[in-house]
Structures are given as structure tokens and as C-alpha cells.
Copies of this chain bind each other. A is one copy, B any other.
Amino acid sequence: MTFDPATLRYNDQGLVPVIAQESSSGEVLMLAWMNAEAVARTLDSGRVTYWSRSRQAFWIKGETSGNVQELVEMRIDCDRDCLLAVVRQTGPACHTGARTCFFTEVRNGKEIAAPDPAVSSFGAAGGDA
């Protein structure tokens, strides 16, 4: 079946959440948003392109920082309202300079810095980040 970005189920702002996952390690890097045009641009260009809610503009990940995301695989979830982008991340994914945006763990009721991947076994294959 031909894929048409218009057939996804967007929220009332015309956006779907997109999970970015590093292909080499399995680490979940970030969650951001795409509108239909960003989905189309990502698939056409192979460069992951979000919609910035704060800037209300297309956001080619890494365009200014160089920390680009090359699309490896795009998946749609069962109810068509979320995407999984498997990517090759250059440099850190997070604007803080962290490898992933999910660097804070809740453990025993406290927030702690958690620099390691959430699932340590993922690291076996190494990483290109």
C-alpha cells in the first residue's frame, strides 16, 4: 500500500509525536513532533526533519549544530498517531550536549543523573554517536 503522510492521525495542531531511536545501540534519543509535510520531507531527504512547536518552523535536526539524524527506517504505530524513526545520530542528540535527552532517571523517589544508556545491554554493538 502506498504511504500517504495525510493518512496519519494528527493532533489538533496537525502534529504526530516521533520517537527517535539510535540504530546502532537501540538507545531512545528524543521525542519530537512532525506535521505531514515534515514526514514527507524526512522520507524524501533521508534527513530527519521535525516541526518545531516553539519556533513554528521546520527543524532539520542538526542543520545548525551538525548533529544530524540520518533516517534508517520509519515505522508507524497501530493506530497511526505516532512514528518511530530509527536513525544514525551524528554527535549528541540533546541540545544540552547529552547523547540522549533521557539522561535523568527517577530512582527511589529521587531524580538522578543517569549518563549510561537506559538499557545497558544495548551497548554491546557499540555506537557511532
Contact = CB atoms under 8 A, between A and B. Distances in A.
Contact of A104 (B2, B76, B103, B118): B76
A56 interface: no
A6 interface: no
Contacts of A86: 118-119
Interface string A14-42: 00010101011111101100000000000
Given A73-B105, A84-B102, A94-B78, A3 B122 contact: no
The complex is assembled from copies of this chain, and their number is: 2
B75 A2 contact: no
Contacts of A98: 78
16 contacts: A2-B110, A2-B111, A17-B17, A19-B19, A19-B28, A21-B28, A26-B27, A28-B28, A30-B77, A43-B109, A73-B105, A73-B119, A76-B104, A78-B104, A121-B125, A122-B122
